[in-house]
Amino acid sequence: LNVWTGSLEGQKPVMVWLHGGGWEVGGSNDPVSNGAYLAAMQDVVLVSVNHRLNVFGYLNLAGVGGEEYSLSGQAGIFDVVLALQWVRDNIVRFGGDPSRVMILGQSGGGRKVSTLMAMPPAAGLFQRANVISGSGLRMDDFALGHDRAERLLRKLDIPKRNFERLLEVPTAQLTAAGIEVRNETGQFRPWVDGVVLPHDPFAPTAPLVSADVPMMIGTARDETSVFTGTIPEYAEMDDERLLEETIPFFPPGEAAPAIAAWKERLPDWDNGKLYARLITDRSYGLDAILQAEAKSALGAAPAYLYTIDYKTTVGAFEDVTPHGQDLPFIFGNLGASSFIAEVTPKEEHLRSVMAGAWAAFARDGVPAHSDMPQWQPYEPSLRATMLLGDTIRQKSDPFKFEREYMTRIGTEQYGPREPVPPGPWIR
């Protein structure tokens, strides 16, 4: 891990950063999430973590290896638990307060934060949580994880009874086989084993094990533009292509009506930009709202919901707010962002507010800044949402239409769990 601190003295709040990249790529040395600005300007200790990913972190061998391999499918997230234990035991030496630890992560890091919220082994290791563009409502079940393991063994021509031969496979070959399996089944990631992860993190309810942990939950207004904005065929897509690309995100028969509804609301938008907004509302936006509602329903600790709508002025898609747009403002590293063409007083002001509010949340459990309205917790009667952009304002249920439309359809994250089968890994 990396540690940034302004001094070795005092008891500063601690922010533990979990990088993005799904459950399969990424690392803690991204210049956008460098912790020097926060440590110097906000008087916090910033810790970033590397951990096992993809087939090395989440290959579930419980079905073939028994007791000894019962936790193999959770190895990567257990690396993060070990890092949090290290913070608990050592951060005071860096001027940090182990009783004020905030975990925060963006994209795949947000899903890691969501998962840690539901893990008894992580209980008490953090006191605040921030999910940025990665609300993880559900994780995998045993059947899916076991299927991935069997597929990997077949691709490597290793019989299940000799699964230990995986230890002899060169890294590059194991990685390549893991990518093939990922392409067939989705990412390797943690599974609901009934013990380490007793249930899905936020479906159908928020986890009781972290009921007293306040949360910040947020999205960018046009998340998926980052995946499509540099691809010419998306910017120029016709109606046929728009429907073809949208169908996989919706239940049968729902894609075409959704496109029509969004076109009615955004009549001047081209299909590429409209696609990015529609799929954002379908996925990141809906799931963040569902997570905030589940957390609020516990009535134990607040959830603070936000959306950043600061628009880009660079790239193939201008005038949108892509995935990751909030990070340079949270961490203060404006010059490291490819989405910010020029640092002006406007960007510096938004940085001051966002970095300050996030540090305040780490310090006191309430996001606040003198240039920000009082941030109300999210709850059903108000649905307070902080909007962070050229102006900073709080609105009640600002995406009511999108919320109601997508809630009727339901999240696209995995459906009901298969029962956890009996086995030696259940202890």
Catalytic residue annotation:
107
User: Residue 193, CB half-sphere, CA atoms under 13 Å: how many?
Assistant: 29
User: Contact 215/295 with Cβ under 8 angstroms?
Assistant: yes
Q: Which residues pair with 131 in a beta bridge?
A: 105, 217
Report the SS3 class of residue 264: helix
Report the SS3 class of residue 101: strand
Element (DSSP H or E) covering residue 149? helix 142-155
Write the DSSP string, 337-404.
Answer: -TT-S---HHHHHHHHHHHHHHHHHHHHSS---TTS---PPP-TTT-EEEEESSSEEEEESTTHHHHH
Give the Cα-Cα-Cα angle 269, 224, 182 (nearest 5 degrees): 145
Of 351, 350, 317, 345, the C-alpha closest to 332 is 351
Residue owning tokens 């892509």: 322
Task: Give the number of other Cβ atoms within 10 Å of residue 126's Cβ.
Answer: 23
